Amino acid sequence: MKYPIYFIILIFCILKLHGQSIEISRGIDFYYSFVDQGGPNVSDRYLNNSSDPIFKVKLAYTLPQKIRLGVSYCKLDSWAHFELQTKEEWLSTRNGGLYNAGLFLGSSLTDLHWIGLGIGYQFDFWKDRIKLIPNLFIINEIATQTARGRNSYFYGDNGRYQNVTITRYSNPGFQIIPEFNGTFQLKIYKGLHLQLEFSYFVGHRPSMYIEVDFEIEGVKQPLARNYSNGTGFHGLYGLTYYF
């Protein structure tokens, strides 16, 4: 973890002090999980959010032409999550019928270190008090397995889903992910700004898997496998300081 931070500080020190900014933000990671094996009861795409907040540090340099060059670092968990549930059970649960019918699973055994290199353009409004900055970042993802397992399980109480066996495993490695980022900054005092940020990511390499073997009313079902590949989005808020 310390090496990405050293790298960002090195890049920051190379640039001239004037025009630099440092951004520190906190927010929520929303991720998509995908199922590549399983029967009709398995959702093929599932959106969830991590229960742990994420923190992001970004250092940027603004050129006289309002072009911004930046480096960022963020550490987060890779979760795989899905639900076993028919459409009728899903509707009944949401409409106040059956209570939590089905089987809900979530797990993480993977830490993700995201090092980003990006470029953007700064639009200034209201005498430079408001800044709108669209960015494109290239995220270098380093996935590492961790012994600190994180789980979020709930078993439905209707008895349809039986003899459930869960296998979860990490998939350490590396991939490059594009990040489409939009940032809003409001000046508070001198160089200090309030910041809101939204990012969308498109991943392609699985970093976390869950396999589930189960029966429905005594009938064995196809093995279901779910994975997370870095696709999702972040919503963050924080502070920026311009030197």
pLDDT for 118-134, tens place per residue?
Answer: 999 999 999 999 999 99
Residue 101 reports pLDDT greater than 70: no
**Average confidence (pLDDT) over 202-227:** 90
Closest CA to 122 of 112, 133, 111, 130: 133
- Sequence-distant (≥ 6) Cβ neighbours of residue 90 within 8 angstroms: 102
CA dihedral 55, 201, 234, 232 (to 10 degrees): -120
Q: Strand 224-242 and strand 20-37: pairing?
A: antiparallel
Question: Cα 104 to the chain's mean position, in Å?
Answer: 20
pLDDT band at residue 47, thresholds of 50, 70 and 90? confident
Residue 16 reports pLDDT greater than 50: yes
pLDDT band at residue 187, thresholds of 50, 70 and 90? very high
Percent of the chain's residues with pLDDT above 70? 78
Cα–Cα separations (whole angstroms), residue 153 to 18, 24, 68: 50, 32, 43
Per-residue pLDDT, 229: 95
Cα–Cα separations (whole angstroms), residue 52 to 1, 49, 221: 18, 9, 33
Contact 197, 237 (CB under 8 A): yes
Closest CA to 121 of 69, 156, 78, 185: 69
Contact 162, 218 (CB under 8 A): yes
**Average confidence (pLDDT) over 79-98:** 68
Residue 158 reports pLDDT greater than 80: no
Per-residue pLDDT, 157: 42
**Average confidence (pLDDT) over 24-41:** 87
Residue 68 reports pLDDT greater than 60: yes
Specify the CATH class of 2-242 in words. Answer: mainly beta
pLDDT band at residue 43, thresholds of 50, 70 and 90? low
> Which is more confidently placed, 19 or 181?
181
**Average confidence (pLDDT) over 201-222:** 90
The residue assigned the tokens 């490059």 is 176
Residue 230 reports pLDDT greater than 80: yes
Per-residue pLDDT, 38: 80
Residue 12 reports pLDDT greater than 60: no
Residue 127, both tokens: 């005498």
Mean pLDDT of the chain: 84
> Which is more confidently placed, 11 or 182?
182
Residue 18 reports pLDDT greater than 70: no
pLDDT band at residue 96, thresholds of 50, 70 and 90? low
